[in-house]
Amino acid sequence: MARGLSKRCPACGRGRLFAGYTRIAKACSECGLDFTGHRADDAPPYVTILVVGHVAIPLALAAKQAFDPPLGLQFAVLTPIMLVAAYLMLPISKGGLVGLQWANRMHGFGEEPAGGGAV
């Protein structure tokens, strides 16, 4: 799973997992592991929203308690921060989910691992 979080092939840890921002490559360029069976479609956005929300909301509440900034200023500062955080985290959460699927031999990863099996 850690290899997926680092956006690398979950089997060998060397090949790239992504062919684009969140588009999974068809196969690993290093070990040849087929990624086409993954099912990381809807869960990564939910994980991203959950994590970003659980970090941003307490920070917003703490800032409100400590400094009492105007609502417009809070919106102007927190909205871009949350958008950037979600943008940066989405491929990481998708890679982690693909790594988790590979580690548990779920969906298209049910065959013998291509990279020797050590996670």
Q: Given this model, what pLDDT does residue 109 score? A: 86
pLDDT of residue 26: 96
pTM of the predicted model, to two decimals? 0.85
pLDDT at residue number 33? 94
Whether residue 114 lies inside any domain: the answer is no
For the chain of 119 residues, list the mean pLDDT of each consecutive stretch of 10. 96 96 96 93 96 95 96 95 98 97 88 54
For the stretch 66-83, pLDDT in tens is 999 999 999 999 999 999
The DSSP string of 59-110 is HHHHHHHHH---HHHHHHHHHHHHHHHHHHHHHHHHHHHHHHHHHTT-GGG-
> Which domain covers residue 30, as residue numbers?
2-109
Token pair for 48: 């991203």
Kindly state the helix (H) or strand (E) to which residue 52 belongs, with its residue range. helix 43-67
Tell me if 33 is assigned to some domain.
yes
Number of separate domains in the chain: 1
In this prediction, residue 60 carries a pLDDT of: 93
